[in-house]
């Protein structure tokens, strides 16, 4: 019988309220365990959302693991399934933003806390939590405020469209600067769970040797100023099919009706919408991804897929494609910068991003 004094609570695998991984898998016990990995220190990353922003924050794990190799890294988010726990480097624990997690994390003392969100949930927690070092954004006089001068530039960029438009730095560059690091093209990290790969089944017809083009046809409910016409998708699909590509329609529940319509009208493959782990595996079967600025864009970058990114309302400099993609924009100027709904009464700029242009970039990828 193991004694309490023999329990190694400083082990990276130790959870405290349930058996650790080595115990569940191999029956290992602390007083005779070959999996013991001593930890020293705790780091917390607060990056709640959006989902794509969580993915594009993962490069921070590289310098953090280098500078704090023995620390446990915790991550608080609305999307814990997107936090890499199996990669190298990886976080140690991912917490969903809820009362239980906030109560637990607030009771801990951290060596280092990074908050990269400006919403009230994140900044209020940042203000309350105890840590030796903090970077990012916090609460001051009821408002979001940079913790220190390293976050001032990113803070100002978010306040004024005129400043945002002049920004030449990518998002990873910006968050690395906030944490005092230099960005050296560290890649996105993502867990690919092979047990969720249902697409090896012959019924999906993905083992045909064809180049597979994944088309993510939606853009979310909020930013409809990015939405491409169904007739444009139809034209692009028909061009691709005529050239012998396999076209796979991608999206979530919100895009289900659209994708069924497009599939029925063109013959493109649509397998339905899936849970996130399965969706990541489906995207991983594609050779090239075509998408607007969505979570799928970030997933494609993390998977190392060739990317054709359709952009109209955002500053293209914020996107880091790692030399593996191209950004295509409308021929006419976008006059609805960072606007969820197009405010230009003269024309919709997204209508001037043609299927011919997107097709050309796919072929040249």
154: in domain:
no
Instruction: Look at the alpha carbons of 289, 277, 274, 45 in this order and tell me if their dihedral is positive or negative.
Output: negative
Kindly state whether residues 78 and 26 are assigned to the same domain.
no
Structural domain of residue 2, as residue ranges? 1-31
Kindly state whether residues 74 and 17 are assigned to the same domain.
no
Kindly state whether residues 246 and 354 are assigned to the same domain.
yes
96: in domain:
yes
Cα separation, 262 vs 56, whole angstroms: 30
Which residue in this structure is represented by tokens 């191209």?
Answer: 326
Kindly state whether residues 51 and 142 are assigned to the same domain.
yes
Q: Is 109 exposed, middle or buried (0-12, 13-18, 19+ CB in 10 A)?
A: exposed
pLDDT by residue for the chain (365 residues), tens only, comes to 788 998 999 899 998 889 999 999 999 999 889 999 999 999 999 999 899 999 999 999 999 999 999 999 999 999 999 999 999 999 999 999 999 999 999 999 999 999 999 999 999 999 999 999 999 999 999 999 999 999 999 999 999 999 999 999 999 999 999 999 999 999 999 999 999 999 998 889 998 899 999 999 988 767 778 889 999 999 999 999 999 999 999 999 999 999 999 999 999 999 999 999 999 999 999 999 999 999 999 999 999 999 999 999 899 999 999 999 999 999 998 888 888 888 888 888 899 999 999 999 999 98
137: in domain:
yes
User: How are beta strands 130-140 and 143-146 bridged, if at all?
Assistant: antiparallel
Kindly state whether residues 333 and 230 are assigned to the same domain.
yes
Kindly state whether residues 11 and 99 are assigned to the same domain.
no
Task: From 81, 77, 55, select the one nearest 196 (Cα to Cα).
Answer: 81
- CATH code (residue 308): 3.40.50.2000
246: in domain:
yes
153: in domain:
no
Beta-bridge partners for 95: 76
Kindly state whether residues 13 and 43 are assigned to the same domain.
no
Kindly state whether residues 18 and 48 are assigned to the same domain.
no
Number of domains in the chain: 3
* pLDDT at site 322: 97
Kindly state whether residues 128 and 47 are assigned to the same domain.
yes
Q: Is 202 helix (H, G, I), strand (E, B) or coil?
A: helix
Kindly state whether residues 27 and 51 are assigned to the same domain.
no
57: in domain:
yes
Task: From 50, 44, 51, 179, select the one nearest 118 (Cα to Cα).
Answer: 50
Instruction: Look at the alpha carbons of 148, 152, 153, 155 in this order and tell me if their dihedral is positive or negative.
Output: positive
Q: Is 140 helix (H, G, I), strand (E, B) or coil?
A: strand
């Amino acid at each position: 019988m193991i004694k309490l004094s023999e329990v190694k609570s400083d082990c990276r695998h130790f959870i405290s309220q349930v058996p650790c991984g080595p115990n569940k898998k191999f029956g290992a016990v602390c007083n005779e365990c070959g999996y013991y990995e001593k930890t020293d220190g705790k780091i917390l990353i607060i990056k709640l959302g959006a989902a794509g922003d969580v993915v594009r924050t993962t490069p921070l794990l590289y310098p953090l693991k280098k500078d704090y190799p023995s620390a446990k890294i915790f991550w608080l988010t609305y999307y814990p399934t997107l936090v890499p726990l199996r990669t190298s480097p990886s976080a140690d624990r991912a917490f969903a933003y809820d009362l239980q997690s906030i109560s637990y994390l607030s009771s801990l003392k951290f060596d280092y806390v990074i908050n990269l969100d400006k919403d009230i949930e994140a900044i209020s927690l940042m203000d309350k939590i105890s840590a030796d070092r903090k970077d990012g954004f916090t609460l001051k006089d009821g408002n979001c405020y940079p913790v220190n001068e390293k976050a001032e530039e990113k803070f100002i960029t978010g306040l004024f469209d005129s400043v945002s438009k002049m920004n030449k730095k990518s998002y990873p560059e910006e968050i690395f600067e906030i944490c005092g690091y230099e960005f050296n093209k560290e890649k996105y990290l993502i867990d690919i769970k092979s047990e969720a790969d249902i697409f090896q089944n012959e019924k999906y017809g993905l083992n045909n040797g064809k180049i597979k083009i994944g088309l993510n046809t939606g853009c979310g409910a909020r930013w409809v100023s990015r939405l491409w016409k169904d007739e444009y998708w139809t034209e692009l699909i028909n061009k691709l099919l005529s050239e012998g590509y396999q076209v796979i329609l991608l999206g979530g529940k919100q895009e289900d009706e659209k994708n069924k319509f497009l599939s029925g009208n063109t013959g493109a493959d649509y397998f339905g919408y899936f849970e996130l782990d399965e969706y990541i595996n489906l995207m991983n079967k594609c050779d090239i991804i075509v998408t607007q600025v969505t979570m799928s864009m970030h997933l494609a970058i993390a998977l190392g897929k060739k990317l054709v990114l359709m952009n109209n309302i955002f500053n293209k400099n914020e996107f880091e494609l790692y030399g593996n993609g191209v950004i295509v924009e409308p021929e006419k100027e976008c006059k609805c910068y960072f606007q969820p709904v197009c405010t230009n009464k003269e024309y919709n700029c997204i209508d001037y991003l043609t299927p011919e242009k997107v097709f050309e970039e796919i072929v040249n990828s």
